[in-house]
Structure 1
Amino acid sequence: MAVIDMSSTINAAKNAGLSKFYIARPVLNRDPNRLLKQGIWAYFLLLIFEGALRKWVLPGLSTPLLVVRDPLALWLVLLAWKKNLLPSNLYINIMLLIGGLGIITAMAFGHGNIAVAIYGARILMIHFPLMFVIGRVFDRDDVIKIGKATLWITIPMAALIAMQFYSPQSAWVNRGVGGDTKGGGFDGAMGFFRPPATFSFTNGTALFFGFSAAYIFYFWLTPKGVNRIMLIGATGGLLLAIPLSISRSLTSLVLACLLSALVAISRNPKYLGKLLMAVMVLAITFALLSKTSFFATPMEAFTTRFSNANETEGGVGGVFVDRFLGGMVGAIIESADKPFFGYGIGMGTSVGSMLIAGDNTVYLISEGEWGRLIGEMGIIMGFGVIVIRIILVVNMGIDSYKKIASKDFLPWMICSVGLLAIMQGQWAQPTSLGFDVILGGLILAALRKPNPKLWLVKTIDSNTETVAASGTNYLPN
């Protein structure tokens, strides 16, 4: 029996006339989901740095590293299932059913390549369930930790894309996948290229800084516990990244974050001052940077590309319909010309296109996500996946919006980037798929009630000089 010296506490109880009283302390047990959480962190870090491995560290292994997160995702899903942490819901069940049927129809009526079919089905049968595993295993503290880590990464990431922007494509910092000396940048404007940062392709730059923007706005609204210098540095890095990336997608994501912050403040006006502080920091930083040629040059390249692209795509309206709705209307209209079961799951991915066509063909079906889904699996299964994604983001958005009333902005701000990405993001592209899985998982985790803490409760008799710890009760907080 454990004996604890409680003499001072017992004397105080006697003086207060108490014959019995209780004490409690938190039970500090090891997190039973620690291994799963470490795996999720590994998935997150690989998402950000796998491109660096493929370009600079292990260029000779660039092809297998393309799917380096797949075995990790499979292991996480299976381990969660073993621990009874994989939710059984209609979202997962329908996606698993469509993925399985997709393999069968691809072999029976489509391209007939089993490797391509499995590669395509892994999106629905492994990565999509992982989203819910993250939501079940992570808690609010984990979501905040991911955000703080992202802020730290944002600062050197901004410095990296600045180096890539001003360096020739033949420079080491601009090496492409597999150490390609032709460069990994993508045509931008005025002879400058869109920098890919640590990613294999330039879309990773927009996705990362958009992801970072959601947390930056959140931490400005709720700065408790975050390093203010780090937050200001990350804010400056984001501001630099907008013109350096020459990306309209990133600009749209940042504007979506700003709009979401304004919506949150409209229901909690007392937070207006914090947002104004963030806007003031942005304005001052922008004013200082605009006086330097270092910032003026990428700003000119960015505005030039924005103007040229808007003219080509029919102005802002054309950009919205074509880019952000993923060609929804066109995908449905053109579905009449597609086979009922589609051309086969996986055929619309870059890997599937390469395995089938035998060259560097990028899109055998459609560049737009919804067009790819219907083209791969036909109108019934393809549209079924689209509907599941729409219903999921609608429910996430509604639940996150309700949280605003209780001054909880975390899920809502992540939704500002995550909702549109999950609904129409290009899951055929590994980087886009990875960010959407992380975003969805973090939203679900932020919405979930925190795990209850266990407290060790002891009954103490003030008529004795010791307390026995044998009669222990464990009560949830």
Structure 2
Amino acid sequence: MSTTAVSKSSHPAWVWCLGLFYLLVVGDGALRKWFIPSQATPLFVLKDLVLWGGYLTYVWKRDPFELPRPLQSTWVPLLLGAYISVVLLQAANPRQPALIVAAVGLKYHLAFLPLVVLVPALIADISQKTFVRGLWAYALCIHLPIVAIGVYQFSQPPGAWINQYIGSAEQIASVAGNPRVTATFPYIGGFTPYLEFSTFLSISVFLTGFRWNNKGLKILGGGLVAATAVVLPMTGSRSVIFIPAIALGVLLIAMPTRRQWLYLVVAAAFSVFVISSVGGTWAFSGWRALNERVEETEDEEAERRIMNVLKTPIDGLEKAGLFGYGVGTNATPAPRLTTRSDWEGRFPGDRGSLRLVLELGILGWLILVSLKLALLHVSFQAVRASRSSMEFIIAATAFCVLISNIVLPVVFNVVDSALYWGSAGAVLAVWSQQEVRRQKEARQPRARTSTTSM
């Protein structure tokens, strides 16, 4: 890692655009729900414009497809290029109902790919000290306010002004008489991927504190774990519990140290202690409500959703064939942009994975899954090769984000997509720096041998 941080005055414009983009990802829902709902559509598009403005500024005198050089020896550039090519070809699919639908599809599939270029460039100029400061700033200025808003929403009736979605006419979902919280996000579907990411980051920081015996990271990670654990069940979603649990279990197996399971037990015990001692019984209210929902929900519903995900390749091949119906055909806003409300290849259900196969075809879907697997392999190597707290936090968080989205679509969820491609870019930067270090160390013995033989 760089030993010196870039000073504040030297931050280029694209760095500020990247920061503003992520602030809009986690905060534009608040603006669209509570402050300026009449500008909901412009605000929804604003983050795309900010990101692409930063990207164009960055690539003005650079290669627009520039990735860290060590990645040239991996499958990532080839598969990324293949995925982009498939999306562009699917935008011209003759089955497309309208050009505007293809434009929407391009936005959903490609709008956040600049993160794969910008995030590595950002990390290359960040020192470990600056990174830790950034974690504290994120915890105090972003995560804790979001948690506080979620807890306040949960304490209010479903009809309260703070419990609303984009479009106030839509009925607020509730469980056990309490609203399913959304915090600063427009819908539950946007809040849950953020909470999953926060869970991964919190536990990664906490594990790092023990692995490197860093008291500050133990405190920061423990506080993040406890705060996230309070609001996690208030969404009323079981997936936000089970998906992180599975991903973190795989992470613990992937870690090179033998003490990771002890770290997890300590993290869980610390979280329960903090919640019970600081928050009292109200801090467990979300878990009680979620337990009531689980008891009322039939197991067949959960089994059906799991089987639907597992059957995606078979159902996709049957319904979409090899080449699909074109990007955008299953995007949520597409019907509102045309005079038609339905067309061939549109699937109205909640099976996001099948909707993605219908757009890309089974061939395009396989290319995307192959890209995801290549990124996951890179993140696994980065976890194993981590030698600093910064490397491990980035690699472990990204590993969990990537593995939890292997078979799940990210293109239809703005928050999920932003966090996925940002995590991918971050771990590509870490892996590349590790690879440069490994190659340098591999050359050193040869250099010493040559010197000795003279």
TM-score range, shorter chain: 0.7 to 0.9
Q: 1:48 aligns with which of 1, 9, 26?
A: 26
Larger Rg over CA atoms? 1
**Aligned twin of 2:96:** 110
d(CA) in 1 for partners of 2:360 and 2:254?
39
**Within-5 A mapping of 1:30-45:** 34-45=12-23
CA positional deviation for 1:33: 6.4
Question: Are 2:173 and 1:186 equivalent residues in the alignment?
Answer: yes
Q: Is the CA contact 2:95–2:325 (under 8 Å) kept in the aligned structure 1?
A: yes
**In structure 2, which of residues 199, 207, 212 is the aligned counterpart of residue 213 of structure 1?**
199
Q: Is 1:135–1:441's contact at 8 Å kept on the other side of the alignment? A: yes
| Distance of aligned partners of 1:373 and 1:258 in 2 relative to their CA distance in 1, 3 Å threshold | closer
Q: Which of the numbers 240, 253, 259 marks the counterpart of 2:249?
A: 259
The answer to whether the aligner puts 1:343 opposite 2:333 as a matched pair is no
Rate the CA distance shift 1:347–1:243 in 2: closer, same or farther, 3 A.
same
Structure having the higher helix fraction is: 2
Match of 1:123 in 2: 108
After superposition, the Cα gap between the structure-2 partners of 1:445 and 1:305, relative to the gap in structure 1 and judged at 3 Å, is farther
1:442 to 409, 426, 430: 426
TM-score in terms of structure 2 length? 0.78
What is the alpha-carbon distance in structure 1 between the residues aligned to residue 305 and residue 324 of structure 2?
A: 27
Cα distance in 2 for partners of 1:422, 1:38 equals 31
- 2:158 is the counterpart of 1:158: no
Letter in 2 for 1:396: V
Structure 1 residues 310, 448: closer, same or farther in 2, change over 3 A?
Answer: farther
Q: How does 1:155-304 map onto structure 2 within 5 Å? A: 155-178=144-167, 180=168, 182=170, 185-187=172-174, 189-223=175-209, 224=214, 226=216, 230-256=220-246, 258-260=248-250, 262-263=252-253, 267-269=256-258, 275-288=264-277, 292=281, 294-304=282-292
Q: Give CA-to-partner distance per residue, 1:222-273, whole Å, 9 cap, x none.
A: 33484765544323211211232222122124424642563366x3246666
Distance 2:38 2:342 in 1: 18
**Quick one: distance in 1 between partners of 2:95 and 2:322?**
9
Aligned residue runs from structure 1 range 387-406, under 5 A: 387-393=370-376, 395-404=377-386
Gaps of 5+ in 2: 68-76, 437-454
Q: Which deviations, in whole Å up to 9, do the C-alpha atoms of 1:87-137 show, x marking residues without a partner?
A: 2622332232112211211xx2321x1122011113333322432331233
Which blocks of at least 5 consecutive residues in structure 1 are unaligned? 1-24, 453-477
Match of 2:66, as an amino acid? P
CA deviation vs aligned residue, 1:46-79 (integer Å, no higher than 9, x gap) = 1100111111121100122222221122223333
Greater fraction strand: 1
Q: Give the AA of the match of 2:173.
A: F
Give the 3 Å change call, closer, same or farther, for CA 52–422 of structure 1 in structure 2.
Answer: farther
> Do residues 385 (structure 1) and 363 (structure 2) align?
no
Amino acid at match of 2:104: Y
Matched residue pairs, number?
Answer: 412
CA–CA distance in structure 2, aligned partners of residues 450 and 82 of structure 1: 28
Residue of structure 2 equivalent to 1:60: 38
Residues 378 and 427 of structure 2 are in contact (CA less than 8 Å); yes or no, is this contact kept in structure 1? yes
Code of the aligned partner of 1:176: Y
Bigger CA drift: 429-438 or 125-134?
A: 125-134
- Per-residue CA deviation, residues 283-316 of structure 1 (Å, 9 max, x unaligned), is 3135447962x2454322201222444513255x
Question: Which position in structure 2 is the counterpart of 1:313?
Answer: 301
Q: Distance in 2 between matches of 1:74 and 1:341?
A: 29
CA distance in 1, matches of 2:287, 2:349: 32
For the residues of structure 1 that align with 2:16 and 2:187, how far apart are their CA atoms? Answer: 26
In 1, the alpha carbon distance for the partners of 2:312 and 2:260 equals 42
Q: Is the 8 A contact 1:138 1:445 kept in 2?
A: yes
Inter-partner Cα distance in structure 1 for 2:15 and 2:6: 17
State the TM-score, normalized to the length of structure 1. 0.75
CA distance in 2, matches of 1:75, 1:409: 31
The RMSD of aligned alpha carbons is: 3.5
Change (3 A) 1:60 1:264: same
> Aligned pair in 2 of structure 1 residues 272, 61: CA closer, same or farther (>3 Å)?
same
CA distance in 2, matches of 1:128, 1:389: 13
Report the AA paired with residue 201 of structure 1: Y
Distance (whole Å) between structure 2 residues aligned to residue 28 and residue 255 of structure 1: 36
Matched, 1:100 2:73: no
